[in-house]
Amino acid sequence: MEQRHLGRTGLRVSRIGLGTLTWGRDTDENDAADLLKAFWEAGGTLVDTADVYGDGDAEYILGQLLDGLVPRRDLVIATKAGSVPDPDRRFDGSRGHLLGALDASLSRLGTDHVDLWQVHAFDATTPLDETLGALDIAVSSGRARYAGVSNFCGWQLAKAATWQVASSGTRTPLASTQMEYSLLQRGVEREVLPAARDLGVGLLPSSPLGRGVLTGKYRRGLPQDSRGASEHLAPFVEPYLDDTASHIVDAVVTAADGLAATPLQVALAWVRDRPGVAAPIVGARNAQQLSAALSVEALSLPDEICDALDDVSAPLHRYPDYHWSTL
């Protein structure tokens, strides 16, 4: 699998990443082992997890599979901290919480460092310099090799990335930002993606298949084994089952038919090759689903197909961020 640099860093990652959101909940240890082995054998390196996935079980399962199944040195392990199961506070970016969460992640993973450590979301109740200071401590102590953020809007990303390089090289530059990005969700193109490209921060798209909708599986109803039929994931999928999404999915299916490809391959190739993207994170429940995603490695979309998909899924940009000066 092709490798790409993550932002303006020396860290190289596979251009498709393996997500572990369902590990420990919908994906047991046996299926996780099949997924990780298939991903590694295909040349995949980037494995993305978080301390809250499966209430910590995703990290624990991944840790159990390292070395015994896949050599730790062959993987780029990325995890996150900052989300908390607190009804009064969804995110905690305080230094104490973040560093404590990192130590707990390392224990579950059974490793002395992660390759990429990400703040899971912006915490408006904690000074940003305190949150970013935790990233510096993590990297300087060797517990993390690189640092990134997740779910930061444009101004938050720009502020964080600028702060990190404003102290004469004493801070850790941001390597990445992880955001949802697909043909069904192009909101990052307003501010986040332009900021990331300008600042040299690599984008790691989550849900690149539109929460599964872009595979075309929901065109004729709700498959019983799908996330949309799952009690705890149905609210996650439902927003993308409207008429607008259906029109975009139809266009993806048409493009796939013309290329003798699958809708999954077309949708994933589109986001993988967008300017500024380092590696889409693909979540699969079993090795069969992962194999279907990894088959995209051989596909590059023709320019005319990309243009057609761009047009049919184009988000509405208005003042002040789109051609306002020409009006």
CB 280 within 8 A of CB 208: yes
Closest CA to 120 of 158, 142, 96, 93: 93
* Tokens 């498709």, located at residue: 16
Three-point CA angle 149, 155, 161, nearest 5°? 45
Length of the chain: 327
What distance in Å separates the CA atoms of residue 220 and residue 138, rounded to the nearest whole number? 48
In whole angstroms, what is the distance from residue 2 CA to residue 62 CA?
23
Backbone angles phi, psi at 70, to 5 degrees: -130, 130
Q: Is 53 a catalytic residue?
A: yes
Separation of alpha carbons 243 and 36, rounded Å:
36
Q: How many CA atoms lie within 13 A of 92 on its CB side?
A: 17
- 3-state SS assignment for residue 306: helix
Dihedral angle sign, alpha carbons of residues 118, 121, 122, 125: negative
- Please give the DSSP secondary-structure letter assigned to residue 86: E
Given the structure tokens 């949309």, which residue do they identify? Answer: 228
Of the listed 53, 60, 181, 240, which one is catalytic?
53
Instruction: Answer left, alpha or beta for residue 205, where phi above 0 means left and psi between -120 and 50 means alpha.
Output: beta
Give the tokens for residue 193. Answer: 């993606």
Contact 111, 63 (CB under 8 A): yes
146 by Cβ neighbours in 10 Å (0-12 / 13-18 / 19+) ranks as buried
Catalytic sites, residue numbers: 53
